[in-house]
Amino acid sequence: MARVAIMVSCVLLLAATCQGVKFGYYSRRCPPAEFIVRNVVGNAVRQNPGIGAGLIRMAFHDCFVQGCDASVLLDPTPANPRPEKLSPPNFPSLRGFEVIDAAKAVLERVCPGKVSCADIVQFAGRDAAFFLSGFRVNYPLPGGRFDGRVSLESEALAFLPPPSFNLSELIGNFAAKGLDVDDLVVLSGAHTVGRSHCSSFTDRISTPPSDMDPALATVLKRQCPANPNFTNDPTVVQDVVTPNRLDNQYYKNVLNRKVLFTSDAALLASRQTSRKVVENAFIPGRWERKFARAMVKMSLVELKTAANGEIRRKSCRVVN
């Protein structure tokens, strides 16, 4: 995978530099920064692999709303009682906030005021992928992102793609963030880890039946209430074969119609995306390489500058 990391660096170095971030950004500013984040994430994932899935999801959810600026971490305040983290796509399902808090606390002791929360979120997503994949997914990430000051529930609802999206809606959603069809198919593969609330897919196991594998639908009907609500909305694993491993099993599940969401099944709705699903399912190492590249590309979406951003001090939950 070292060769993969080098290729990713070479392809994306120019794009990253143009946006004010660069690889090795903390080599002088805070040399142990990435090691500290990886150590904190590793400890958390070993205790609970689900936290790792949450951190990968957090990296995605942060970048799709206000860009990769740690706006997803901001707590409610009297002036802003409904930030992103309280929006339905994030609450109560998004996990890993305490891991970011722990990493920030160590970094502030070692290098006060140097490491942005936005960088911590992206490093943590990368490191979660590293551990959950059995070290097969590993890639360098540029640093130097600034933290945002704006976090709105309404924007999370507007920009995060729901599990009910069809293929054309997904393509448009990703295109709005500068991501292409290949990025869409590749990043969807993160659904190979983690859990989902029943409310996100009950339409696919109700009558009339969807194209979901009947055996899986039967199992899910036993696990989920007919009408889940906020007080009765259990979670189930997203990948019934390798639920705690980041691998290409997701694509085999798509082909076998053993996936939860309409947005997962939608990847078979065109010849182009179907072909990509097959390639990721059966060509060894292809998905891991593409996932690394797509995660770096996503981490560069709509970055803040010193003019409209900051480096939060002490806590990632509040602006300075």
Query: Interhelix angle for 33-47 vs 49-63, to 10°?
Result: 130
* Pairing, β 195-197 against β 235-237: antiparallel
Look at residues 144, 140, 148, 189 and name the one whose alpha carbon lies nearest to residue 38. Answer: 140
What's the CA gap between 129 and 271, in Å, rounded? 29
Report the DSSP beta bridge partners of residue 9. Answer: none
Give one DSSP letter per residue of 173-220, joined into a string.
HHHTTT--HHHHHHHHGGGGSSEEEGGGTGGGTSSSP-SS-HHHHHHH
What's the CA gap between 35 and 72, in Å, rounded? 23
Q: How far is CA 32 from the centre of its chain?
A: 24
Is residue 191 annotated as part of the catalytic site, yes or no?
A: no
What's the CA gap between 32 and 186, in Å, rounded? 30
Other CB atoms within 10 Å distance of the CB of residue 37:
26
Helix, strand, or coil (residue 224)? coil
The alpha carbon torsion through 40, 151, 164, 202 (nearest 10 deg) reads 70
Query: Interhelix angle for 271-282 vs 181-188, to 10°?
Result: 40
DSSP at 74: P
Q: Which of 55, 57, 58, 61 is catalytic?
A: 61
Look at residues 77, 149, 87, 191 and name the one whose alpha carbon lies nearest to residue 312. Answer: 149
Cβ burial, residue 284 (10 Å; 0-12/13-18/19+): exposed
Residues taking part in catalysis:
61
